[in-house]
Structure 1
Amino acid sequence: MERLQTRGPEIGICNICGLTERLTDDHVPPKGVPLVGQVYLDRLSEALGAQKPTRQARLFQRGVKYRSICAKCNNERLGQALDPTLVQFCKDAKAAITERLYLPSDIRVQQNKLFRSVIGHLLAHGLGTHKAGQFIERKTEYFLKLDQPFPEDLRLYYWVYPYKPQIVGRALARKELIIGTDVVIFSLLKFFPIAWLCSIGDLEGPDAAQVTRVDHLATPNIEDFAHLRINPSYIPAAHWPEAPGGNSVVLHNRLGTIAIPRPPQ
């Protein structure tokens, strides 16, 4: 089995902007969010049925990183302009979960920066995937054009994720085995304390009722604020939506990954 690759060439095409530049390491999830440390990185499709990391798993000392984007996208667009909003939102969400137990809490946040940070790290995940398909192309255009509202044909969801494994998936497909439901294509970014999902099409099924859709909150002004509710009473199953259930099927590709914290030695 081919080993997981996370380091692109020193000079290559940036996953986000598409320019041929010196590539830099992007942490997925970004540095500063809670509970990022030593992890074993494995393929998601292989690890879902395993009780421990497979033989192909790789150890990362300080979170998973991909050499996949240029310095401008990494340091300026993400690191300086957008990631501080995502990091602070995750810290506020952790505090809300810890301090208020199962009571809902509203967090005031610059939603357009938050959403773009999430999309940016989804785009940075993997190697050599700049605009690899219409789904990724639409997310790329949204990320780079700061005055653009969220694409009308895409959806963005989030929910409380109180688990330690960090999961990233690109262009997975899920089908609920109910007459009339459509196949939903989605990308996924799950790490404590919040999970994010971007999709083509509306989520369906019982677990979908536990998540919150937020793309309608996006506006053309990058500096706008909105309130996002953290509600620990509504949490989907731990392995939803990447794992199939009794009434659903999920199609994976080789780009999906799971990072499992290394046990104390």
Structure 2
Amino acid sequence: MMKKSRGISRRIDSCRIDEGYCLICGEFSRLTEDHVPPKGAIVLTAVEQKLVTEIYGSNLDPSLKGVKGKRGSTFKTICSNCNNYHLGKNDNEVARLFKDLNHKLLHHIKSANSYSNILSIEVDALKFCRAMVGHVLAATSSKECLKKPLPSPHFDSLRRFVLGDDNAISETHDLYYWYYPFRRHFSARLVGFHNKGHNASLSCLNFFPLAFLITPKNEGIFPVQAKRLELHDKRMYIEVSARNIGFAQFPFCALDGNVFMVLNDDQCITSYPSAKVNL
């Protein structure tokens, strides 16, 4: 266990261990580093990482330094089999989709003849979702690998889905996506969100130009521009306008009235390029 360093993000307190319980298959094994966001979907550059609670909320320390990552943000929480097989064989679909989406988005921005704000992108939804859910499960502190995962109504079916059960989440979860026009990355393994009397357990992975959200089946809380992604879908339709842009970083957006969330800060991480950017 590393000693907490004064003036630097508590992201550095994450255990650095070589062996532990894989957060996908649950087996005790040597652990490997998973890139979140996945490599191939973004350009791997030097980043700084913080806990979401260190950049979002009250009593923030603007002088707090982020933990540096030379080639993106990584999480040493899953075994090599889950990393290389269950995620690796599906990550190519994430990389292809983001490359296609970025190309179409650039053309849309540059073209004076764009007649619609909706971009249509081909997708193998099963492969795409299996990879994205896997990275959501992996994006947390290595401290969670010190103990065998306990049964969980939120995570159990997600794990089975990543491991190959196509029907594991059909009765338990919904998946949503929307346009995310920011360079800051967010990953949240679990957030409890309360919206005017309704509670939901949420997980997300947001990185330019798309946000991905996991919610309970038919009980989710999500921004109005979000579209549900079905596992049999062949295309995604992404509205790349500024409509409701204040909620594009959901769930880490402005909260008002009877709306609040609870979270374990080790499970909610943000990263951003080391060079100064507009957030």
Q: Same fold (TM over 0.5)?
A: yes
Question: Which residue identity does 2:38 align to in structure 1?
Answer: P
Between 60-69 and 31-40, report the one with greater CA deviation: 31-40
The alpha-carbon distance between structure 1 residues 30 and 259, as it changes in their structure 2 partners (threshold 3 A), is: same
Instruction: Name the CA shift for 1:209/1:189 in 2 (closer, same or farther; >3 Å).
Output: same
- The whole-number CA distance in structure 1 between the counterparts of 2:30 and 2:15 is 12
Residues 162, 244 of structure 1: alpha-carbon distance in 2 compared, 3 angstrom cutoff: closer
1:174 alignment partner AA: F
List alignment gaps of at least 5 residues for structure 1: 220-224
1:261 is aligned with what amino acid? P
One-letter amino acid of the counterpart of residue 183, structure 1: N
| Aligned: 1:261 with 2:273 | yes
Superposed displacement of residue 165, structure 1: 0.6
Matches of 2:53 and 2:156, distance apart in 1: 24
Question: Which residue number corresponds to residue 170 of structure 1?
Answer: 189
> CA offset at residue 156 of structure 1?
0.8
Greater mean alpha carbon deviation, residues 111-120 or residues 136-145: 136-145
Distance change (3 Å), C-alpha of 1:169 and 1:140: same
The offset of 1:196, in angstroms, is 0.6
Distance 2:47 2:62 in 1: 12
Tell me which of 11, 14, 33 is aligned to 2:19.
11
CA displacement, residues 134-158 of structure 1 (integer Å, 9 cap, x when unaligned) = 2111210111124326331211111
Provide the C-alpha distance between the structure 2 equivalents of 1:123 and 1:115, rounded to a whole number of angstroms: 12
Higher deviation after alignment, 65-74 or 28-37: 28-37
C-alpha distance 47-175 of structure 1, shift in aligned 2 (>3 A): same
Q: Which residue of 2 aligns with 1:230?
A: 238
Q: Distance in 1 between matches of 2:56 and 2:208?
A: 18
Counterpart of 1:199 (choices 194, 215, 218) is 215
The one of 48, 70, 78 equivalent to 2:79 is 70
Tell whether the 8 Å contact from 1:244 to 1:250 is kept in structure 2 after alignment.
Answer: no
Query: Unpaired segments of 5 or more residues in structure 2?
Result: 5-9, 110-115
Do the aligned residues in 1 keep the contact of 2:46 with 2:69 (CA within 8 Å)?
yes
Q: Is the 8 A contact 1:27 1:63 kept in 2?
A: yes
Alpha-carbon distance, 1:14 to partner? 1.0
Distance 1:210 1:52 in 2: 32
The residue matched to 1:114 in structure 2 has which SS? helix
Structure 2 residue 255 is matched with structure 1 residue 245 = yes
- TM-score under structure 2 normalisation? 0.81
1:86 aligns with 2:94: yes
**Shift in alpha-carbon separation, 1:183–1:236, aligned structure 2, 3 A:** farther
The count of aligned residue pairs is 251
Report the Cα distance in structure 2 between the residues aligned to 1:117 and 1:252, rounded to whole angstroms: 23
Name 1:160's counterpart in structure 2: 179
Residue 159 of structure 1 aligns with an amino acid whose one-letter code is W
Partner of 1:120: 134
TM-superposed CA distance for 1:203, in Å, is 3.7
Contact 2:206–2:249, Cα closer than 8 Å, also in 1: no
- From 98, 101, 105, the equivalent of 1:97 is 105
- Please give the TM-score of this superposition, normalised by the length of structure 1: 0.85
Asked if structure 1 preserves the Cα contact closer than 8 Å seen for 2:22 and 2:77, the reply is yes
CA distance in 1, matches of 2:25, 2:252: 28
